[in-house]
Amino acid sequence: SQMLAQSKAEGKPTFSFEFFPPKTAQGVQNLYDRMDRMHNFGPKFIDVTWGAGGRLSNLTCEMVKVAQSVYGLETCMHLTCTDMEKSKLDNALKEAHQAGCTNILALRGDPPREKEKWEATQGGFRYAKDLVKYIRDRYGNHFDIGVAGYSEGCDDNDDVDELIDHLKEKVDAGATFVVTQMFYDTDIFIDWVKKVRAKGIDIPIIPGIMPIHTHAAFLRRANWTRCNIPKHWTEALEPVKNDDAEVREVGKGLVAEMCRKLIDAGILHMHFYTMNLAQATRMVLEELELLPDVESPLQKPLPWRPSLGLN
């Protein structure tokens, strides 16, 4: 489709991985080992999510530093407004800048763990667009700034059209790419992209892909994000739900089929929510024949500039 074919870039689709800061020191070490191995899959970049407050957010900065400078991975650091007064934002941005990170995903953020409803912090920001503007004002064009998109509504707003208006505000504030919430219904997603384009948003849109690790996790995440599960997915997964290996096998086929449909629609970059695990993501990439040859392992990819601009 014309509307979705945003890039003149020909050739192979590309992909990226999202990781989150683990809770224990051992978890951190395991993740570094896994990041090192997954580096060889050839991602264009990796994301590190932002946990609200305290130790986990320091860990985000540290992980970005290690991934960027030790493993030579292009990184994108998530940053949120939750519990962040401006001085804390300044510190986080300074650390990202010093680590050589040039990509920020600017978010409003989830509410802190102990709270149900999101509240603004005194001396901080209320909306992601305020954070986007702040980063642009302070750092000019140093950072590519990504923002979140929701094809089926977000946790505190299920009005998709209103969310597109808010997405437009984030783009007008200086965002240069969009990463979407996970979804399983490609038709809904593609219709949403058309709507977004019709609103005059023309920056790259990167679909968030959640591979299937177990049946329980699949259902939990779909329920949590309230995304539609196509009927043929349920029909394929339900009969094998007690066999984890079979669920991964069937799930791999379904997720790969979804990625192929996206690629056919001209969406040439996919962002994988790895959940810090390699297997399910690797299986999908293998199915799509996007993994490098085992015989000739990939060279360390060049730092990926300009802009995370694909699609």
- Residues with catalytic function: 18
Whole-angstrom CA distances from 106 to 17, 132, 204, 244 are: 17, 6, 15, 35
Q: Per CB under 6 A, which region of 102-110, 134-142, 228-236, 301-309 contacts ligand FAD?
A: 102-110
Question: Whole-number minimum distance, CB 192 to ligand FAD, in Å?
Answer: 13
Minimum Å gap between C-beta 238 and ligand FAD is: 27
Provide, rounded to whole angstroms, the least separation between the CB of residue 291 and ligand FAD. 24
One symbol per residue from 6 to 25: x for binding ligand FAD (CB under 6 A), - otherwise; what is it? --------------------
Binding ligand FAD (rule: CB under 6 A), the pick from 109, 204, 207, 211 is 109
β-pairing, 14-19 vs 269-273, is parallel
* Contacting ligand FAD within 62-101 (CB under 6 A): 78, 80, 82
Angle in degrees, CA 253, 39, 249, rounded to 5: 15
End-to-end CA separation in angstroms for the chain = 12
- Of these, 90, 155, 172, 264, which contacts ligand FAD (CB under 6 A)? 155
Lookup: tokens for 100:
């050589």
Q: Please tell me the distance from the alpha carbon of residue 78 to that of residue 48, in angstroms, as a whole number.
A: 6
Any contact of residue 243 with ligand FAD (CB under 6 A)? no
Which residue, 164 or 288, is less far from ligand FAD as judged by CB? 164
Closest CA to 129 of 161, 95, 163: 163
53 touching ligand FAD, by CB under 6 A: no
Q: Which of 157, 223, 234, 279 binds ligand FAD (CB under 6 A)?
A: 157
Shortest distance (Å) from residue 261 CB to ligand FAD: 20
Nearer to ligand FAD, 28 or 240 (CB): 28
Query: Which positions ≥6 away from 239 have C-beta within 8 Å?
Result: none
Binds ligand FAD by CB under 6 A, chosen from 163, 212, 258, 310: 163
Question: Which of 28, 127, 195, 241 touches ligand FAD by CB under 6 A?
Answer: 127
Binding segment (CB under 6 A) for ligand FAD, from list 91-99, 162-170, 185-193, 243-251:
162-170
How far is C-alpha 32 from the chain's CA centre?
19
Q: How far is CA 309 from CA 36, 139, 206, in A?
A: 24, 19, 9
Strand partners, 47: 18, 76
By beta-carbon proximity to ligand FAD, the closer residue of 162 and 191 is 162
Beta partners for 178?
147, 205
Minimum distance from CB of 246 to ligand FAD (Å)?
A: 29
Torsion of CA 267, 222, 272, 41, to 10 degrees: -120
Restricted to residues 128-147, the positions that interact with ligand FAD (CB under 6 A) are 128
Neighbours of 160 (CB within 10 A): 17
Q: To the nearest 10°, report the CA torsion of 23, 27, 32, 36.
A: -130
Query: What kind and span of H or E run contains 179?
Result: strand 177-182
For ligand FAD, which residue has the nearest CB? 108
**Residue ranges in contact with ligand FAD by CB under 6 A:** 49-50, 52, 78, 80, 82, 105, 107-110, 127-128, 148, 154-157, 162-163, 166, 169-170, 179, 181, 208
